[in-house]
A and B are shown apart, each in its own frame.
Chain A
Amino acid sequence: MLAQHIVNGLVQGALYALVAVGLSLVYGVLEVVNFAHGELYMLGAFGLYLLFTWAHLPYPLAVILTVLAMMAAGLGLARAAIVPHLRRPFEATVLATLAASIILQNGARVAFSATPRQANPPLEDVVVQAMDVAVTGQRLLALAAALLAFAALQLFIRRTRAGKAMRAAAQNKDACRMVGIDVGHVAARTMMLGAGLCGLAGAVVAPLYDIFPGIGTTAVFKSFAVVIMGGLGNVPGAMAAAGILGVGESLAGGYISTTAKDAFSFILMILVLLVRPEGLFGRRVRV
């Protein structure tokens, strides 16, 4: 029983990490909290639903197309709400991304209605069992996708020029401008990357649950908790925090109640903030 809860928690943690990593990345590089982050996840989910469940494209293709579509959406969001305000006081980007979130969530409500939909991904009925512990196939797929994504992200950030530009921007934007790195481009690329990760999360994680326009709010709630606990701007910290959150929630849900499970993320976030405002893993921006 305990083992099952812990495994559930770890898997869930990895999924939370996948959902949250885009938010952490964007903050780490741009110092912008993207309040439309949850809506990007929601759009990714709807994208997958339209491509796979409705248009009957093969699942892998649907996932890839969703990721690409979301990268384009990320670019659009960057142009509309982030790049214009990069040098302005931080309220501007918060309010702009908040406005974007309102536009996207209500636009989805108008377009799709609030009716929950089921995506029925291919592996949802498959159960993998090992030593008293069972995990559904779709969850394992999501876990695999998450781990692959993290590895790819690390490689991208450390090995490519674009990645290096992002790390430079994370440390000192003015210095970037002085050496000719176009911070606007870095911002756009970072948003594309973050949105793409959201798209992947929407495509592999969201189908585990019902899909409706409000799922962005829950996703962003959890992502905030993860990012705050890990330390704003600290991507590896966020992943570790996601793991802790996942296991904690699983144990709370298993041994206390479902309400405890839902409130757990907020309570844990507040506790961390009371004791260590800069997050569990420190404030130094690490991308």
Chain B
Amino acid sequence: MSAAAQGQRAWLVAAVVAALILPLFVRSNYLLHILVMTEIYVVLALSLNLVLGYAGLLSLAPPAFFGIGAYTSALLALRLGWPFWAGLAAAGGAGLLFAAAIGVPSLRLSRHSFVIVTLSFTLLAQLAATNWTDLTRGAMGLPGIPPAAIGLPGLGRLVLTGKTAWYYLMLAVVLAALGAFAALVRSRLGRAIVAVREDEVLARAVGIDAARVKFLAFALSGLLGGVAGSCYAHYISFIDPSLFDFYYTENLLIMVILGGAGTVWGVVAGAAIFNVVPELLRIHPELRAFLYGIVLLAAISAAPGGLAGWVRARRAARAAEPSRA
């Protein structure tokens, strides 16, 4: 393995170790809560990253998949007594299905129509959650979602309450999601997705089925969004239609765009920074959203590649060859 790859692996190991021992140093329940929310956001941010950063599709649907996953998991637990893991799988499946359903008609549209349709889908999902009261109890929401429980053979059930338990559970989910994500982008599918983003015409000319590749990327982003939603539902134990709010969209956009769309670690860093900092500063949610809007606007103009893009550019500038053929 090359020196660079060895260095990267060392960083990775250090990061995982740090994440594992972090709760030992965190006293306050509130801080632990922020960390758990960050972990949930990382998974959701990966959803947007896959579709926007890697596939180059500006989809505003991830909050819809988040909400659909949350409601699926919550309803299965509340109405049918499904355990957390089953609900999680079902939520991912629901996200995948809805993404597939929306993807088929909308991916062949022009880019502008695509953005509009994905945004409209999120708005429609919110409408459905608010009005389909028989199923979702509308604006009253679904309270009392049971926490996650692991059945250990011979030892009985271990019910996960308390923020520390959730921190480790989510850490497992995050690491699994990150691992799967990294595997995906290094695979042939990952290469094909990026190729389609870079130049769809050329991609088709070299034999890539662009329509299928975009569809797969979009469907997988639905799966990730659904998984994140399920975790949220069981963690917070109460959900209502405000889940679908635009609020999540701008949070997501900031995390992914400022972190660096199209990279893995950039998005993780973005999710961490943009969750932890505002919470620590105790900014009121509406003011926070307002400030995020301004930051986003500034970032679009000044640093479209985000944090990761900036780092990459610095590295490239340092390594630039003096002569070229």
Contact = CB atoms under 8 A, between A and B. Distances in A.
Given A110-B287, A232-B110, A273-B105, A94 B115 contact: yes
A29 B190 CA distance: 37
Interface residues of A, number: 41
Given A103-B290, A106-B290, A273-B117, A95 B300 contact: yes
Contacts of A269: 117, 120
Interface in B227-260: 246, 249-250, 253, 257
Contact of A99 (B58, B293, B304): B293
Interface stretch (B123-131, B169-177, B181-189): B123-131
Given A92-B304, A105-B246, A107-B290, A274 B105 contact: yes
Contacts of A102: 246, 250, 289-290, 292-293, 296
26 contacts: A31-B112, A35-B119, A90-B111, A92-B300, A92-B304, A95-B253, A95-B257, A98-B250, A98-B253, A99-B293, A99-B294, A102-B246, A103-B294, A103-B297, A105-B289, A106-B286, A106-B293, A110-B284, A110-B290, A224-B116, A228-B113, A232-B112, A263-B127, A266-B127, A273-B105, A273-B113
A225 B120 CA distance: 8
Query: What 10 A-B pairs are tightest by C-beta distance, nearest first?
Result: A102-B293, A103-B293, A99-B296, A99-B297, A106-B290, A106-B289, A109-B286, A266-B124, A259-B131, A102-B250
Interface in B115-164: 115-117, 119-121, 123-124, 127-128, 131-132
Contact of B112 (A90, A99, A263): A90
Interface in B277-325: 284, 286-287, 289-290, 292-294, 296-297, 300-301, 304
A225 B123 CA distance: 12
Contacts of B212: none
B304 A33 contact: no
B108 interface: yes
Given A85-B300, A102-B289, A221 B123 contact: yes
Interface string A49-66: 000000000000000000
Contacts of B58: 91, 94-95
By DSSP majority rule, is chain A's interface helix, strand, loop, or mixed? helix
Contacts of B246: 102, 105, 217
Chain B, interface residues (CB within 8 Å), range: 35 or more
A282 interface: no
A100 B301 CA distance: 13
Nearest to A110: B286
Given A106-B289, A277-B108, A228 B116 contact: yes
A269 B257 CA distance: 29
A40 to B, nearest CB: 15
A262 B297 contact: no
Given A101-B293, A273-B106, 11 more contacts: A33-B115, A35-B119, A90-B111, A96-B297, A96-B301, A102-B289, A103-B297, A106-B287, A110-B284, A224-B120, A262-B127
B19 interface: no
A277 B296 contact: no
A221 B110 contact: no
Contacts of B301: 84-85, 96
Contacts of A263: 124, 127-128
Interface string B1-27: 000000000000000000000000000
A221 B124 CA distance: 9
Given A33-B116, A95-B257, A277 B109 contact: yes
Contacts of B106: 273
A224 B131 CA distance: 21
Interface in A65-96: 80-81, 84-85, 90-92, 94-96
B109 A80 contact: no
Contact of A217 (B108, B123, B297): B123
Nearest to A100: B297
Contacts of B113: 228, 232, 273, 277
Nearest to A96: B300
Contact of A273 (B109, B132, B284, B292): B109
Nearest to B128: A263
Contacts of A84: 301
B112 A33 contact: yes
Interface string A135-158: 000000000000000000000000
A110 B109 CA distance: 37
Contacts of A280: none
B261 to A, nearest CB: 9
B248 to A, nearest CB: 12
Contacts of B292: 102
A266 B290 contact: no
A270 interface: yes
B287 A81 contact: no
Given A94-B115, A262-B127, A263-B127, A99 B289 contact: no
A11 B58 CA distance: 35
B120 A99 contact: no
Given A110-B290, A232-B113, A266 B120 contact: yes
Contacts of B284: 110
Contacts of A105: 246, 289
Contacts of A81: 297
A236 B109 CA distance: 21
Contacts of B286: 106, 109-110
A27 B106 CA distance: 19
